[in-house]
Amino acid sequence: MKANKILTVICLITLFLSSCTSTNKEIFIKNKEELRKPVKVTVLPLTDAVGKQGSGTIVSDALTNELIKIPNWTLVERSQLQKVLGEKELDMSGMTTSDAAQIGQLLKTDYIITGNIATYNYKRQLGIVPITKINFTLRIINVSTGEIVGTINYERETNKYWAAGCCIFGVYYVPYIVIYSLTVDKNINHDLKKASQDIVNQINLDINNKRINSGCM
């Protein structure tokens, strides 16, 4: 009986490892000294992923909610951004670096963050296992010079190898996925928040040499 319990624990741990989240991030920041100073930052709605209307605004809002945790950074509310876009009749589609800088000048902000979403997908495999894949790129632009001072390429995928548990552990996998589906309320917003926290932690680590306490990644 004891051996069966140990085997069950080992199986469950291995299942978690085999279905773990994979991330790939490339974050480059220059002019770090300038970004340590008090600055005003605006995150523009990103270009939507194909077939995912509104995803750009959702991602930019998630990033804004986390970026505000960086010391000395003040974030512009989306309502202020929308007001400027409406008054000047500016279109977000096909926006160039100079266009983004122009918006930043109108908002009297120091830096603009813009970019696009390549992938924004969520589904429940077999109606149970939540699988998320998010991929986007960002550019940090100095409004006064129009210079790109930072680039971010981020990809997050969850439960990529979930099926391995079914094949390897057989009967032990069934209670796991049932319990998981009943007790864990995960959706793409959960993973988007984790992605945003991960990015902000890396930026803060780069410019201030310390992490932001935002819970388990």
Domain presence at residue 217: no
| pLDDT above 70 as % of the chain | 71
Number of folded domains in the chain? 1
Angle (nearest 5°) at CA 114 between 110 and 120: 150
* Residue 88 domain boundaries: 2-208
Domain presence at residue 214: no
Domain presence at residue 101: yes
Least confident of 61-65, 81-85, 177-181: 177-181
Give the pLDDT band of residue 153 (cuts 50, 70, 90): very high
CATH number at residue 24: 3.40.50.10610
Domain presence at residue 213: no
Of residues 79 and 202, which shows the higher confidence score?
202
Q: pLDDT digits over 40-71, tens only?
A: 999 998 999 999 999 999 999 999 999 999 99
Cα separation, 1 vs 211, in Å, equals: 44
Q: Are 176 and 15 in contact (CB under 8 A)?
A: yes
Length of the chain in residues, anyone? 217
